[in-house]
Amino acid sequence: MKIFFLFSWILDLFQWTPFNLNPVEGFFQGLIGACGISVLYNLMRIYYFIQSCSDSDRGSKRTSSKTRNPLRRKWRASLQFWCLTTLLSLVGLRVSSLIVLEFLLRAAFACMSTAQDSGVRGLDFLLIQSQFSLGCSLTCVLAFLHQGAPHSSLGLCLAAALSWAVASYSSSLWAHVARLYPLHSKQQYCGKCISLLTSGHTMLASLQRLVILTFAVAAVASTSVVYEHFLSHKDAMKFWTPLTLCYTMLVVYNQEEQHRLTVSETLLRTVVVRLGGLLVLMLAVGTWSDVLHVLVSFIGEGVCLLSSEDLLQAALKEEHETSFSKEERRFSPSTKTGKFLLDDS
């Protein structure tokens, strides 16, 4: 009995948010967020796999075994999915809202910088980095919409079932493409592969629009949560204004320095900036539970980014090939028409 009271006192001391909420609802929210990450994860792999197959058909270098044999890592994908479900279930609404707004701030500066210099360091690279932030945006929107609802658990259960179905379909589609697309795209007797062959090059643009729409909805919910929990208090702006300005300057400086770094160094610096910025912010205006939630969220960032190495390499390869083709068209104007016909074949 004394141990139970000691445990309850520790929970009250740290205000550990996941234990104060309904654990069933937290699990459903984490499951939906993990399903959203899984859908983005699988569709991006389908896109880059199709692009690599198209490049190999045109005489380019064959793809690596890591890309051609993706089904060997199926157990790693399952482990990643359930780890993300657990981590997203633990991250509280307050920290999820801050993560969403922080990612939107970085995305805005990234879009402004890529207006002059496009490439893998632009929207494609940002889309790969958005995986855990996308999961946080989904959990934030769900928590905001179901707050105070009489049957919130039932609604979250139905949403989780629908998300599970979509994620399962994307996973099965990725398994089908990875195993049979090189054969079916040549023989052209499979409806799925024919559809991907004709419209697969537009998949990345559609994903970008869908992610932008998700973050736009999450921005509204996150702004409301941040205002309610942080900005509505007296003299709150005295803390937020200098911290926000300092973090904005740090993001701008980090964005400018990315062009001189490798992809791994850029990822490491981005994670350090996010960890340091949010930790300082929570130590100034948050609670100890918020600090713990920030640490949990960066474990989730690591889980997402460690498994995205092949996506980064595929994006870099596509960027190099795009840059090379642009140089060819610029120095060989007479072959411009033939090049476009080759790209459309």
Lowest-confidence segment of 192-201, 211-220, 266-275, 296-305 by average pLDDT? 266-275
- pLDDT tens track for 104-141: 887 887 777 665 554 445 677 788 888 999 999 999 99
Q: What residues contact 65, with CB distance under 8 A and at least 6 apart?
A: none
In a domain, residue 3? The reply is no
pLDDT at 160: 94
Tokens of 54: 């198209």
Q: Is the pLDDT of residue 230 over 70?
A: yes
In a domain, residue 14? The reply is no
Which is nearest to 42 in space by CA: 73, 2, 5? 73
pLDDT at 312: 79
Residue length of the chain = 345
Q: What residues contact 279, with CB distance under 8 A and at least 6 apart?
A: 291, 294, 295
C-alpha 31/C-alpha 164 separation (Å) is 8
In a domain, residue 10? The reply is no
Give the predicted TM-score (pTM) of the model: 0.81
pLDDT at 37: 95
Three-state SS string over 180-232 comes to HHHHHHHHCCCHHHHHHHHHHHHHHHHHHHHHHHHHHHHHHHHHHHHHHHHHC
In a domain, residue 8? The reply is no
Q: Is the pLDDT of residue 11 over 50?
A: no
Mean pLDDT of 135-153: 86
The total domain count for the chain is 1
pLDDT at 167: 94
Q: Is the pLDDT of residue 99 over 80?
A: yes
In a domain, residue 185? The reply is yes
What letters, b where the CB count within 10 A reaches 16 and e where it falls short, cover 66-85? ebeebeeeeeebeebbeebb
- pLDDT tens track for 331-342: 554 444 333 333
What percentage of residues in the chain have a pLDDT greater than 70? Answer: 70
pLDDT tier for residue 7 given thresholds of 50, 70 and 90: very low
Q: What is the DSSP code string of 116-136?
A: TS-SIIIIIHHHHHTHHHHHH
pLDDT at 116: 54
pLDDT at 143: 87
Give whole-number Cα distances, 25 to 149, 162, 185, 187, 229, in Å: 12, 15, 43, 47, 20
Q: Is the pLDDT of residue 30 over 90?
A: yes
In a domain, residue 252? The reply is yes
- pLDDT tens track for 276-319: 778 877 887 778 888 888 889 888 988 888 887 778 777 777 76
In a domain, residue 6? The reply is no
Q: Is the pLDDT of residue 197 over 50?
A: yes
* Residue 149 three-state SS: coil
In a domain, residue 99? The reply is yes
Q: Domain residues for 174? A: 21-344
pLDDT at 336: 43
